[in-house]
Amino acid sequence: MAERSLLDMDQHPDITALRARYDLAAEMPFAQVVSGLTFLGGLYLAISPWVVGFDGRTTLTVNNLITGIAVALLAVGFASAYSRTHGVTWVIPFIGLWTIIAPWVLPGHGATTSVAVNNPVVGFVIILCGLAGIGIGMMSLRRR
């Protein structure tokens, strides 16, 4: 029986063309701005407990630090290898939504005015950046 040669999925012509389209979409100025704003939003979310002054609330402080770092790392991935990371762009809006509701859901503290303003505004910006990131992927699919 003759051995059947199988192509590695990374070598498949359709996958290569699709990745090339995603890379072209990621090189557009709009995509670069979105990636940069997403990174800055994540970075701000990570340091916001110390900037705004609610670092005494340990649960929310740790939450904002971890989710902010996650958003910033995802943004770096989108900026550097969008063709390989576009599949997780849907995570960013959910992190933004979590950021909005976290002060009222996490145990151990009530939402002060600074928290009640900071987290929803940052969460909304992260949601918008996430939706724009999803739109970048959709634009690359329309360019066939």
* Domain contains 135: yes
* Domain contains 72: yes
Q: Let me know: does 95 contact 71? Beta carbons within 8 Å.
A: yes
Q: Let me know: does 79 contact 32? Beta carbons within 8 Å.
A: yes
Question: Within 13 Å, how many C-alpha atoms sit on residue 66's CB side?
Answer: 8
| Structural domains counted in the chain | 1
- Structural domain of 74: 22-142
CA distances from 77 to 32, 101, 114, 133 (A): 12, 26, 31, 12
Give the separation between CA 116 and CA 122, rounded to whole angstroms.
11
Confidence of residue 5 (pLDDT cuts 50, 70, 90): low
* Domain contains 39: yes
* Domain contains 13: no
Q: 30-49, pLDDT tens digit by residue?
A: 778 888 999 999 999 999 99
* Domain contains 5: no
Longest dimension (CA), the chain: 74
Per-residue model confidence (pLDDT) at position 51: 93
pTM: 0.79
* Domain contains 80: yes
* Domain contains 90: yes
